[in-house]
């Protein structure tokens, strides 16, 4: 029966583990899929947002190349300026439009005058958006740049070269500056499915749009490197990353989720499987217990019938209790007899060997060896019965005086008594022995002229092997005997 129930329980546990692991993987993948879907929506929105402005810039460069000529004299650029102002008005998030030719002449709208020093220092041809567009005339380029006219340190710049429609030469660059805060607002207002971070970076590992998170530059470099090796998502440093490209494949929208967050969600959703398995095991345990109890009752009735010849169902519980109680009493009695000296009531040598071995390395334990003085003379003078009575009396006085202290007394052999002190200082141990010795000295016996005393040697345990500690206690006991008996030598 026990084997059958054990096999069923093991089967339940195995099925629960398999189902739990399968559900865990499915929930983890479902959560990652939700995060990828969320990232796809955010990337699609940003991509359409930037692509709309890119289309406007591309159309502006085509018209500028075909219909407008750039003149370094401001009074001849009125038509170009009016045309640029009309385009700027239809772009709500645009901060400015800059038209630059290859000689460094530029028109910036809205017009904001620069100081003479700033005007001399600022050359649009040195800006990254100009140099990249001049070198590559096929694609629109996205970059984060500084707008000195608006005193903004970071703006999104979409730049395209202006190609002459007649000979195909590059006549300059048209750049559109967008408000970076608008793109940051898009990321802040999006609601992710779990606690996460979404940001935009370039393929060199530099932040482009950051809603206010703190990043280690080394982590960003590692993300950029992994984005080249893995397609769509990857796990790094206990974090799940999903990414999508936007802006002519030049920027990455990255979604970061802690693996622990996904694990907590999976754990909560897998709790039903865990609780179901536990409930099944509890029911199975109850069935096992009920079956076992029923079988035990049947066996007890059979045993009672064999004993008395009749079955009394009402006495089954009492019979079990009596059997268990008597068995415990027998075990306690056997254990007590095995570890107790029959004459003195002290622990015997076997108990001493076990306790001394257990406490031999305890630096807070003390060991004392006691020997009754002139015990052979007592036996020879008054007989062995009186000698046994003296030994028992000394032991009783020792047990009575120890009180609630952690002190254990053992009959070591013959008239020798061993004492182990646990967690008691040497001074308190010696004080206890002195009090015991004085009490024995002042004890009056019925036998005339019978005076009893003992000598003792006290040593600290834990500093040496048990054999050396016993030898130390014996040496000090011998020294007490040599010095006149009825004394205690501790050091």
| CA atoms of 441 and 435, how far apart (whole Å) | 10
Q: Which of 54, 127, 256, 415 is catalytic?
A: 415
**Residue 38 tokens, joined:** 């969320």
3-state DSSP call for residue 416?
Answer: strand
**Residue 462 tokens, joined:** 């834990």
415 counts as catalytic = yes
CB-based contacts of 450: which residues, under 8 Å, 6+ apart? 378, 382, 386, 390
Cis peptide bond upstream of 140, omega within 30: no
Q: Can you tell me which residue has the tokens 């019938």?
A: 305
List, in sequence order, every residue forming a beta bridge with 176; answer none if it has no partner: 97, 158
| CA atoms of 260 and 413, how far apart (whole Å) | 66
Q: Which among 489, 453, 487 has a CA at the least distance from the CA of 373? A: 453
Backbone angles phi and psi of 342, in degrees to 5: -70, -30
| CA atoms of 143 and 250, how far apart (whole Å) | 9
| CA atoms of 89 and 102, how far apart (whole Å) | 26
The residues carrying an active-site annotation are: 415
């Amino acid at each position: 029966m026990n084997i059958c129930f054990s096999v069923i329980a093991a089967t339940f546990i195995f099925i629960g583990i398999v189902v739990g692991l399968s559900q865990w993987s499915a929930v983890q993948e479902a959560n990652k899929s939700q995060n990828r879907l969320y990232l796809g929506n955010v990337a699609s929105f940003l991509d359409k947002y930037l692509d709309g402005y890119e289309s406007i810039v591309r159309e502006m460069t085509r018209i500028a190349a075909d219909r407008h000529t750039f003149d370094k004299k401001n009074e001849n650029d009125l038509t170009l300026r009016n045309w640029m102002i009309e385009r700027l008005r239809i772009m709500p998030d645009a901060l400015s439009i800059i038209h630059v030719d290859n000689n460094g002449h530029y028109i910036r709208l809205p017009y904001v005058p620069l100081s003479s020093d700033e005007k001399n220092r600022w050359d649009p041809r040195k800006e990254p958006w100009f140099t990249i567009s001049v070198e590559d005339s096929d694609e629109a380029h996205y970059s984060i740049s500084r707008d000195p006219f608006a005193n903004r340190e970071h703006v999104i710049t979409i730049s395209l070269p202006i190609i002459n429609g007649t000979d195909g030469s590059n006549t300059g660059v048209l750049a559109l500056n967008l408000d970076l805060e608008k793109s940051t607002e898009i990321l802040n207002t999006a609601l992710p499915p779990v606690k996460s971070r979404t940001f935009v970076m370039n393929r060199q590992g530099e932040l482009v749009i950051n809603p206010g998170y703190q990043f280690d530059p080394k982590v960003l470099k590692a993300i950029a490197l992994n984005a080249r090796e893995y397609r769509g998502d990857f796990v790094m440093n206990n974090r799940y990353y999903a990414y999508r490209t936007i802006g002519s494949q030049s920027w990455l929208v990255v979604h970061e989720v802690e693996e622990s967050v996904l694990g907590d969600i999976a754990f909560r959703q897998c709790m039903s499987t865990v609780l179901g398995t536990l409930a099944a095991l509890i029911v199975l345990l109850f069935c096992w217990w009920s079956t076992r109890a029923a079988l035990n009752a049947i066996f007890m009735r059979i045993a009672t019938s064999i004993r008395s010849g009749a079955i009394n169902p009402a006495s089954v519980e009492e019979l079990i209790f009596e059997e268990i109680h008597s068995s415990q009493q027998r075990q306690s009695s056997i254990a007590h007899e095995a570890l107790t000296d029959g004459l003195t009531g002290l622990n015997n040598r076997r108990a001493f060997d076990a306790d001394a071995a257990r406490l031999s390395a305890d630096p807070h334990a003390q060991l004392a060896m006691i020997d009754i003085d002139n015990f052979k003379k007592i036996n020879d003078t008054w007989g062995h019965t009186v000698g046994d009575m003296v030994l028992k009396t000394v032991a009783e006085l020792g047990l009575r005086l120890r009180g609630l202290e952690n002190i254990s007394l053992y009959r070591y052999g013959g008239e020798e008594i061993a004492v182990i002190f646990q967690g008691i200082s040497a001074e308190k141990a010696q004080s206890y022995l002195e009090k015991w010795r004085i009490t024995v000295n002042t004890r009056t016996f019925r036998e005339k002229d019978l005076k009893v005393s003992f000598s003792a040697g006290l040593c600290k345990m834990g500093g040496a092997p048990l054999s050396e500690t016993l030898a130390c206690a014996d040496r000090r006991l011998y020294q007490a005997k040599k010095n006149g008996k009825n004394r205690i030598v501790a050091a």
